[in-house]
């Protein structure tokens, strides 16, 4: 086989692989109410269908904002018993959300946003762990106390984008100036990078989210915000957070670290991925960027467990949730001397939720070319400079020898005369 035919063959294989990796993504919003009651709820469902499998993303604000992820075979269907899911009775809520046939459900996990934390950073440390309960002011808001908009009313379903947005007047002080708190998710059918900073990678196995805090009222003069999240794994495997570093500065200037909260250590896993950067403006730019801090995984508190038992996660796992690995984590926004939340009263942060192997930043072709040029050009100059010098010296030596020979011959002729 000729080299050209071999090249075409390999390119065809690569193209076929890339096409087969794409998923067909569709989104719908289901709504339901308790029979003979005004208690209602909404639930967004994204299905990303591959050749032999499906990724389900179930998004709801019932209980607390939650993202339930399931990796299944292609014939698995989602069903919701609204009377049970919206019931105030924990026993009735159990197993109100089902995926059938259950034998074709390969892995599941759930990410829940449980608290919004507002603390007074009087020492400008941008570190929640620096303060005790008595050393600074705290406003800790349980997200299950917020009133949330109907998901279909604030989402772009056709664009495979779902938004969970609070429009609550309880606690009323947060919305004194018509502020909003929202989490917006976007699903993708293929691989690429998000156009806005921090240009996170996405793939057909990922949905990205933007968490937005927009002019929420605070009574703290040096306010900084943070969030508490809980992850429920689909097994007893231990969770952990790892971070990796890259020299690639192309997509997020100055940010060389990426974090992955993994639902299990081995094999394909559920994950939350983020870069430790957020922005103090919705028009994201480098000069509006600030940092973040992660405080490690923690055991669930009694409050966390109560929230969990009133959530979508309990609706799916039921009493079996106690046998699964669950951990909480806090993340705070901001760096020392960045002006804090009161500077702009806006914070926006992006992350990714998915299944499989989290995407990793690698040195791009452009960076390799730049590095090669930076290191190679001086080497080329030195090599060619050395060759030029050697040639010049050799020519100079040859000219000198020729002149010496000519001079000697002239001297001999003169002596003979």
Tell me, yes or no, whether 288 and 379 share the same domain: no
Model's pTM, two decimal places?
0.83
Strand 223-232 versus strand 269-274 pairing type: unpaired
Tokens read off for 405: 């020979």
Q: How many angstroms separate the CA atoms of 313 and 321, rounded?
A: 8
* Residue 340 covered by a domain: yes
Residue 83 shares a structural domain with residue 188? yes
Residue 66: closest CA among 275, 309, 298: 309
Helix (H, G, I), strand (E, B) or coil at 155: coil
- Whether 193 and 320 map to the same domain: the answer is yes
| 7 in a structural domain | no
In a domain, 8, yes or no: no
219 and 304 part of one domain: yes
How high is the pLDDT of residue 67? 98
- Residue 246 inside a domain? The answer is yes
Residue 243 DSSP SS3? strand
* Two tokens, residue 374: 């930076």
Query: Which pLDDT tens digit goes with each residue over 95-149?
Result: 999 999 999 999 999 999 999 999 999 999 999 999 999 999 999 999 999 989 9
DSSP per-residue string spanning 343-390: GTSEEEEEEEEEEES-------HHHHHHHHHHHHHHHHHHHHHHHHHH
- Regarding whether 389 and 316 lie in a shared domain, the answer is no
**Residue 417: CB partners within 8 Å, gap ≥ 6?**
none
Residue 281 contacts residue 316 (beta carbons within 8 Å): no
Stretches where the chain sits below pLDDT 70 are 1-21, 168-172, 177, 246-255, 361-377, 379, 395-417
Kindly state whether residue 34 falls inside one of the protein's structural domains: yes
Residues 176 and 35 occupy one common structural domain: yes
Q: Where are the beta strands (DSSP E) in 216-345?
A: 223-232, 240-245, 257-262, 269-274, 277-279, 289-298, 326-333
Indicate if 187 and 74 belong to the same structural domain: yes
**Does residue 85 sit within a domain?**
yes
Contact in structure between 249 and 199 (CB atoms under 8 Å): no
Task: Please give the tally of structural domains in the chain.
Answer: 2
- For residue 46, tell me if it sits in a domain: yes
Whether residue 381 sits in one domain with residue 292: no
* Per-residue three-class SS string for 188-230: CCCCEECCCCCCCEECCCEEEEEEEEECCCCCCCCEEEEEEEE
Task: Select from 44, 19, 49, 16 the least CA-distant residue to 30.
Answer: 44
Report the distance separating Cα 395 and Cα 253, nearest Å: 51
Q: Provide the total of helices (H) and of strands (E) in the chain, helices listed first.
A: 7, 21
**231 and 168 share one domain:** yes
Burial of 232 (0-12, 13-18, 19+ CB in 10 A): buried
Shared domain for 322 and 373, answered yes or no, is no
Q: How far is CA 108 from the centre of its chain?
A: 18
Instruction: Give the number of other Cβ atoms within 10 Å of residue 62's Cβ.
Output: 24
What pLDDT, on a 0 to 100 scale, did the predictor assign at position 168?
Answer: 67
Please check whether residue 1 lies inside any domain of the structure: no
Shared domain check, 226 and 173 = yes
Structural domain containing residue 342: 15-363
Same-domain pairing of 332 and 385: no
């Amino acid at each position: 086989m000729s080299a050209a035919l071999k090249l075409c063959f390999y390119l065809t294989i690569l193209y076929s692989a890339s096409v087969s990796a794409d998923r067909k993504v569709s989104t719908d919003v289901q709504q339901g109410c308790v029979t003979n009651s005004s208690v209602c709820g909404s639930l967004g469902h994204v299905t990303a269908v591959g050749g032999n499998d499906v990724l389900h993303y179930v998004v709801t604000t019932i209980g607390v904002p939650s993202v339930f992820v399931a990796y299944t075979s292609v014939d698995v269907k989602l069903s919701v018993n609204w009377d049970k899911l919206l019931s105030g009775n924990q026993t009735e809520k159990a197993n109100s959300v089902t995926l059938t046939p259950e034998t074709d459900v390969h892995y599941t996990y759930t990410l829940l946003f449980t608290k919004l934390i507002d603390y007074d950073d009087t020492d400008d440390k941008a570190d929640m762990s620096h303060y005790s309960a008595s050393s600074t002011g705290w406003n800790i808001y349980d997200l299950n106390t917020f009133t949330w908009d109907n998901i279909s009313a604030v989402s772009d379903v056709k664009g495979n984008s779902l938004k969970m947005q609070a429009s609550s007047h309880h606690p009323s002080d947060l919305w004194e100036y018509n502020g909003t708190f929202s989490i917006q998710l976007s699903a993708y059918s293929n691989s690429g990078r998000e156009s806005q900073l921090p240009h996170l990678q996405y793939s057909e196995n990922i949905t990205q989210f933007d968490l937005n805090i927009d002019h929420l009222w605070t009574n703290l003069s040096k306010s900084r915000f943070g969030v508490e999240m809980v992850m429920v794994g689909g097994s007893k495997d231990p969770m952990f957070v790892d971070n990796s570093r890259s020299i690639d500065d192309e997509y997020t200037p100055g940010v060389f670290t990426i974090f992955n909260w993994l639902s299990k250590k081995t094999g394909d896993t559920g994950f939350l991925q983020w870069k430790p950067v957020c922005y103090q403006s919705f028009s994201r730019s480098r000069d509006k960027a600030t940092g973040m801090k992660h405080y490690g995984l923690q055991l669930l508190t009694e409050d966390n467990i109560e929230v969990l038992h009133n959530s979508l996660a309990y609706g799916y796992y039921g009493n079996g949730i106690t046998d699964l690995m669950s951990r909480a984590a806090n993340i705070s926004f901001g760096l020392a001397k960045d002006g804090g939340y009161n500077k702009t009263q806006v914070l926006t942060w992006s992350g990714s939720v998915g299944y499989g192997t989290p995407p990793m930043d690698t040195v791009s072709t452009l960076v390799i070319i730049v590095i090669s040029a930076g290191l190679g050009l001086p080497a080329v100059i030195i090599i060619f400079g050395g060759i030029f010098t050697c040639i010049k010296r050799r020519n100079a030596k040859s000219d000198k020898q020729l002149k010496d020979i000519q001079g000697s011959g002239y001297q001999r002729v003169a002596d003979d005369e």
